[in-house]
């Protein structure tokens, strides 16, 4: 009698405890849906086509990751600042949203290995004399709030001790302000800068120079403690490069040329 | 399902910067009230003036200020005027946007207050030899401000909360701007915004309480 009660309770305890071992990776697979936070005003990484369907490099990466997991992808649009609340509140499983992997942020969220790297360009209003990036000194400059380049630029302005820095809420407002002459210059990824100069939506702007910062490596993010999922994402990124999918998507969304090298010479990840 | 571990240390380190931001928030709100009240009195005079043009100006102002989002008003001050080559700093854009909104609402408050002041008072003042303006300035306005004092406090609270809209015009020195900047750096979203919410609450509570004390002193019968 006693032993049967013990056996029952052991079974019950195991049964109850089992779900606690299911991590996010299991949850995604069993739910059949991978929900990705993607920023959709950040072409060519994320945007919407004429029929309002999300498109872009990040959207395709989310789809690829979902296909690898054998589940459906669900794109959840967020702004840059909303990525983390969306993740923390369980509205999304991962963010495929060009998130720069800073050490400060890694205290809060879990980063995969880099899946893309941006170089940044200095874009100026045509009315402003600017020979190279150092011409930004003392000027009114701005960038999209919460991005790697915004953090870099704000620190530069503080270091120069002159001029002012303005963080606008989205990429479109930055270029609107630049086009109106409210900003003298901005720093944005080369991809975004070229797309915006070419589009003609923002007359009176020109690309001046490359910004002299360390390439902006961006990674997939999820909750900090989800090692299983982070491991899976690392292998996924490795496979994307290995199979040539990385090159293929680069050509599809960015254009001809070599995509950025995702390894850093002389050090392990 | 809320999958988040609160870690306060990183966020609490930023408290001094956030308190500095709170001062800027209070400064913008106070200035916007001073400007707003001045314009609202002017708009009220416009309405009382009997002039059709002045009346129309006041009516248009109130209609736009009260029936469009404050966010839109602030955005238009910055990017709308920017389109015409008038470039205002984020600070000024926010201040003017909120002052515009304040003026519209306060002018309506004043109109309501005026209804509670019998017309006979103006006529008596006029018969004492005061000009219409003097009658307004010495007899009507003090009562109007007294009646609408508590609604004005509401507007002040609203102005404080509206400063958080400054991020759309790249304002980054006020409480909300500082908080979102810190959030972008550390991703400690919930801790930072919880602290900001508490600071906002304390500011507005202090304002309403001191306004009540002030009212008790000023308006003793």
Sequence spans of domains, chain B: 14-218
Chain B CB within 8 Å of residue A166 CB? yes
B176's tokens:
């909300």
Nearest to A218 by CA among A142, A122, A111, A108: A111
Closest residue of chain A to B88, computed from CA coordinates: A182
B75, two tokens? 């955005």
**3-state SS, residue A256:** coil
Contacts 24+ apart (CB under 8 A), B126-134: none
Look at residue A201 in the predicted model and tell me its pLDDT: 86
Of B79, B89, B187, the CB nearest to A176: B79
Per-residue model confidence (pLDDT) at position A89: 86
In residues, how long is chain B? 221
Contacts of B171 (CB under 8 A, 6+ apart): B90, B91, B93, B94, B163, B177
CATH 3.40.190.10 segments of chain A? 18-118+216-253, 120-210
Per-residue pLDDT of B111-169, as tens digits, reads: 999 988 998 999 999 999 999 999 999 999 999 989 999 899 999 999 999 999 999 99
State how far residue A138 is from chain B, nearest Cα, in angstroms. 15
Q: At CA A64, angle to CA A58 and CA A66, rounded to 5? A: 105
End-to-end CA distance of chain B: 56
Asked if B32 and B105 touch (Cβ cutoff 8 Å), the reply is no
More confident residue, A13 or B220: B220
Rounded (10°) angle between helices B149-162 and B15-48: 130
Classified as helix, coil or strand, A70 is coil
Other beta carbons less than 10 A from residue B67's beta carbon: 8
Give me the residue from A145, A150, A177 closest to B82, CB to CB: A177
CATH superfamily of A18-118+216-253: Periplasmic binding protein-like II (3.40.190.10)
pLDDT of residue A13: 54
Cis bond leading into A4, ω under 30°?
A: no
Mean pLDDT, rounded, of chain A? 89
> Does 1.10.3720.10 match the CATH number of domain B14-218?
yes
- Distances A16 to A5, A7, A230, B16 between C-alpha atoms, Å: 16, 14, 26, 46
Residues of A with Cβ-Cβ distance to B7 under 8 angstroms: 108
Q: Which of these ranges, A44-53, A191-200, B81-90, B115-124, has the smallest mean pLDDT?
A: A191-200
Integer angstrom CA distances of residue B134 from A216, B44, B128, B139:
66, 15, 11, 8
Q: What distance in Å separates the CA atoms of residue A115 and residue A96, rounded to the nearest whole number?
A: 10
CB B97 within 8 A of CB B168: no
Average pLDDT over residues A165-191: 93
Q: How confident is the model at residue B216 (pLDDT cuts 50, 70, 90)?
A: confident
Backbone angles phi, psi at A133, to 5 degrees: -65, -30
- The stretch B93-114 carries a mean pLDDT of 96
Token pair for residue B192? 């930072």
pLDDT tops 70 at residue B46: yes
Q: Tell me, yes or no, if A149 comes closer than 8 A to chain B by beta carbon.
A: no
Contact A65, A93 (CB under 8 A): no
With left for phi above 0 and alpha for psi between -120 and 50, is residue B116 left, alpha or beta? Answer: alpha
B interface test, pick of A22, A91, A108 with most B CB neighbours within 10 Å: A108
Q: What pLDDT shows up at residue B25?
A: 97
Cβ-contact A166, A141 below 8 angstroms: yes
CA A144 – CA B66 distance, rounded (Å) = 30
CB-based contact B187 A105, cutoff 8 Å: yes
CA A183 – CA A195 distance, rounded (Å): 19
pLDDT, tens digit, for every residue of B33-45? Answer: 999 999 999 999 9
Count residue pairs from A and B with Cβ separation < 8 A.
Answer: 86
Please give the share of chain B, as a percent, with pLDDT higher than 70. Answer: 98
- Which CATH superfamily is A120-210 part of? Periplasmic binding protein-like II (3.40.190.10)
- B188: helix, coil or strand? coil
This prediction's pTM: 0.83
Place of tokens 């302005």: A157
Residue B14 CA to residue B126 CA, distance in Å, equals 59
What is the pLDDT averaged over residues A20-29?
85
H-only helix segments in A166-269: 171-180, 190-199, 227-242, 245-253
Say yes or no: B87 contacts chain A, CB-CB below 8 A.
Answer: yes
Tokens standing for residue B105: 């609402």
* Gyration radius of chain B's alpha carbons: 21
A236 Cα distance to chain centroid? 16
Give the pLDDT band (50/70/90) at residue A22.
confident
A108/B180 touch (CB, cutoff 8 Å), yes or no:
no
Exposure pattern of A179-209 as b/e (b: 16+ CB <10 Å)?
bbbbbbbbbbbbbbbbbbbeeeebeebeebb
pLDDT band at A215 (very low <50, low <70, confident <90, very high): confident
User: Average pLDDT of B8-23?
Assistant: 92
Check B186 against A108: CB less than 8 A apart: yes
- pLDDT, averaged across chain B: 93
Provide the 10 A C-beta neighbour count for residue A217.
20
Cβ count near A5 (within 10 Å): 9
Residue A18 pLDDT:
47
Do residues A216 and A117 touch, judged by C-beta distance below 8 A? yes
Chain Cα centroid distance, residue B159:
3
Rounded Cα distance between A198 and B115, Å, is: 59
């Amino acid at each position: 009698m006693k032993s049967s009660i013990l056996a029952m309770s052991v079974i019950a305890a195991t049964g109850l405890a089992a779900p606690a071992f299911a991590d996010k990776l299991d949850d995604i697979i069993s739910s059949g849906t991978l929900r990705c936070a993607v920023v959709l005003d950040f072409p060519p990484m994320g945007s919407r086509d004429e029929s309002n369907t999300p498109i872009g490099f990040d959207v395709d990466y989310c789809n690829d990751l979902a296909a690898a997991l054998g589940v459906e992808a669900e794109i959840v649009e967020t702004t840059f600042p909303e990525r983390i609340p969306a993740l923390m509140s369980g509205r999304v499983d991962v963010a495929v949203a060009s998130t720069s992997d800073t050490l400060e942020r890694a205290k809060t969220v879990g980063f995969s290995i880099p899946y893309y790297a941006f170089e940044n360009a200095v874009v100026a209003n045509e009315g402003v004399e600017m020979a190279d990036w150092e011409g930004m000194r003392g000027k009114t400059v701005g960038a999209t709030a919460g991005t790697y380049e915004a953090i870099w630029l704000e620190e530069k302005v503080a270091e120069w001790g002159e001029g002012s820095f303005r963080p606008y809420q989205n990429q479109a407002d930055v270029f609107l302000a630049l086009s109106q002459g409210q900003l003298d210059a901005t720093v944005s990824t080369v991809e975004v800068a070229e797309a915006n100069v070419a589009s003609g939506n923002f007359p009176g702007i020109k690309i001046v120079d490359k910004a002299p910062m360390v390439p902006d490596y961006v990674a997939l993010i999820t909750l900090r403690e989800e090692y299983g999922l982070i491991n899976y994402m690392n292998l996924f990124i490795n496979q994307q490069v290995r199979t040539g999918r990385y090159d293929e998507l680069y050509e599809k969304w960015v254009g001809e040329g070599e995509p950025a090298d995702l390894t850093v010479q002389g050090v392990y990840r | 399902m809320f999958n988040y571990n609160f870690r306060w240390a990183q966020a609490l380190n930023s408290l001094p910067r956030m308190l500095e931001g709170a001062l800027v928030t209070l400064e913008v709100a106070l200035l916007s009230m001073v400007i707003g009240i001045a314009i609202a009195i002017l708009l009220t005079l416009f309405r009382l003036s009997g002039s059709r043009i002045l009346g129309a100006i006041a009516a248009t102002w109130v209609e736009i200020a009260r029936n469009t989002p404050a966010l839109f008003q602030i955005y238009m001050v910055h990017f709308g005027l920017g389109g015409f080559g008038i470039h205002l700093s984020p600070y000024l854009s926010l201040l003017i946007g909120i002052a515009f909104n304040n003026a519209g609402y306060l002018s309506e408050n004043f109109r309501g207050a005026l209804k509670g002041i019998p017309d006979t008072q103006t006529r008596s003042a006029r018969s004492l030899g005061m000009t219409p303006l003097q009658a307004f300035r010495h007899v009507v306005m003090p009562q109007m401000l007294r009646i609408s004092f508590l609604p004005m406090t509401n507007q002040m609270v609203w102005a404080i909360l509206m400063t958080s809209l400054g991020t759309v015009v790249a304002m980054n020195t006020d409480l909300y701007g500082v908080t979102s900047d810190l959030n972008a750096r550390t991703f400690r979203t919930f801790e930072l915004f919880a602290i900001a919410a508490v600071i906002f609450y304390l500011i507005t509570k202090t304002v309403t309480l001191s306004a009540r004390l002030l009212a008790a002193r000023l308006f003793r019968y």
